[in-house]
Amino acid sequence: MDDVREVTAQLLADKPRLTDELPEVLAVDEQHSSWTFDDIPVDSGTFGELVSRGVVEKTGSGYRLADRQAVQAALTGETIEEDTASEGRDFEVGFDFSRPTVERDVAVAFGGVLVLVLVFRMFSIQSVFQNGDIVLLANDPYFYRYWLQRLPRAPEARSHSPRVSRAASR
């Protein structure tokens, strides 16, 4: 990545103190595949500038140099040839589509539950549908129709129902 080398060279020209700090960042990057801000000897402002300019990139578990060879070349003042630049970090072009993985035991249990529900519904479908109509009593597991018919007639239900004033009903 020639642009990482150029950006690093520009940063070194703007901030000469990075000439001492960047080799240490390079050493930490060579030792670890990813590292945190606490592992390197730069202040937060410089670190933020390294990240914002693309010299350091964020990974899932921390940070790493975008191109180690380009940073090394910027420190030594060398130029990078095209074939050397491609030997840096491997970047894939395009999208990575991956299917979600499902554990086999979970899939089998879920399929078994669906089959069980289907079997129960097959045996009770004749009680629910009769002559093309849905019969409410056969499909009433909570006695909804029973309570709908009986509750208004119950004497204790009348004592708990809200009273409507005569003025409001006129």
Q: pLDDT (tens digit, 9 = 90+) per residue, 133-163?
A: 666 555 666 677 677 777 777 777 666 655 5
Token pair belonging to 6: 């150029």
**Span 100-120, pLDDT tens digits:** 888 999 999 999 999 999 998
Host H or E run for residue 123: helix 104-128
Q: Kindly state the percentage of the chain with pLDDT values over 90.
A: 10
pLDDT of 61 above 50 = yes
Strand residues in the chain grouped as ranges (E):
56-58, 63-65, 129-130, 133-134
- pLDDT at residue 82 in the model: 56
Q: How far are the Cα atoms of 32, 35, 40, 85 from residue 66, in angstroms, in the given order?
A: 14, 13, 15, 11
Choice between 84 and 21, residue whose per-residue pLDDT is larger = 21
d(CA 5, CA 163) in angstroms, rounded, equals: 84
Token pair belonging to 86: 């491609």
- pLDDT at residue 107 in the model: 95
Mean pLDDT, residues 37-45: 82
Mean pLDDT, residues 6-21: 81
Token pair belonging to 42: 């730069």
Task: Delimit the domains of the chain by residue range.
Answer: 2-85, 104-159
